[in-house]
Amino acid sequence: MFKAAKFCLRLLRIIPMSVTVTPGVTPYVEPAKWKEHRFGLPPERWAELKGRSFLITGAGTGYGMAMSSALAAAGGTVFLCGRRKLQLQKSIESMRQLDIPTNNCHAVVCDVTDINGIKNLRDEIQRITPSLYGLVNSAALPPRGSLQTETLDYWDSLMRTNVTAPWLLTKELFPQMAAGRAVRVLFITSEAGWAFTHGVGPYNVSKAALNNLSASMAGEYATGYPGVDIQMNALDPSEARTEMNQGSPYSPFAVVSMALVLLSHPAGGPNGRFFHRDGRHLQFTYSAPYDKLLL
């Protein structure tokens, strides 16, 4: 766990600073007091989430669990997706402990690296809701070895989970999402996507590829679906107490405020842009920081 913490601290020194920050983002709030602070959202933006349908991958732990909980608290229909049914059930039970309603929460077991599993997931969602509004690609494998030592098997698993799965899932679900004429997609990235940190090269590559995937899909789908309000963006959650980094002092709920800001954004918002959980707007290659406030 100490190695992971040092890795994240090194990344914090490397990631470029943005030129724009959205004030009002509140990463460090007490989840149990969600009725008071709404994770920093004003009432009208909180209301935008009510009645919407969302799919969250990696929802059994960490960031996925936290974002699923917040969306359920806002009155959304939430599909919690993961490989381990027990972990998904624990996520729903943790919501109940926070007095979050769970009547519209659905635990869906799926391996997002398997195309048949993704198609079955798509069909199951269609049976429950006519239109999916939001997708959060949060499932990921952690760093393990260097470019010198990593095995081909783990490299393949890393790329399938961190890059291929978000592409396939977004691609398969998009027609159903577009039917509602408004689409919100988040790709949960990492500061590793901006870094060349020694010892975790394969992970760096996977997250840099995810960043490019996010912006590339945003541009291509905006062109292909001109009548749909598409907002596909990448969100860097920094580091928190997840399975990857159990020694962190930060709660995985630290990502929630900025995630909700993006998912609740009205029409005409950012597409193909990059953001940090603390409210910063980030640059990645030719994509300049988003130049408008989000709240």
Q: Is the pLDDT of residue 15 over 50?
A: no
Asked whether 233 and 218 are in contact (CB, 8 A), the reply is yes
Q: Cβ distance 294 to 265 under 8 Å?
A: yes
The string of pLDDT tens digits covering residues 189-219 is 999 999 999 999 999 999 999 999 999 999 9
User: Does a structural domain hold residue 159?
Assistant: yes
Averaged pLDDT, 86-99? 98
128 occurs within a structural domain: yes
Task: Name the packing angle between helices 62-73 and 85-97 (round to 10°).
Answer: 50
Tell me the H-state helices in the chain.
2-14, 34-37, 43-49, 62-73, 85-97, 115-128, 152-159, 165-178, 201-224, 256-263
Given CA atoms 268, 46, 284, 203 in this order, what sign does their dihedral have? negative
**Burial of 59 from C-beta contacts in 10 A (0-12 / 13-18 / 19+):** buried
Computed over every residue of the chain, the mean pLDDT equals 92
Among candidate residues 84, 77, 76, the one with its CA nearest the CA of residue 58: 84
**Any domain includes 20:** no
Residue 6 has pLDDT above 90, yes or no: no
At 244, the pLDDT band (50, 70, 90 cuts) reads: low
Residue 283: how many other CB atoms lie within 10 Å? 18
Mean pLDDT of 93-97: 98
Q: Is 40 part of any domain?
A: no
d(Cα 265, Cα 45) in Å, to the nearest integer? 7
pLDDT tens-digit map of 158-190: 999 999 999 999 999 999 999 999 999 999 999
Query: What's 67's domain CATH number?
Result: 3.40.50.720
Q: How many domains does the chain have?
A: 1
Domain of 268, in residue numbers: 51-238+254-282
- Asked whether residue 161 is assigned to any structural domain, the reply reads yes
Whether the predicted pLDDT of 31 surpasses 80: yes
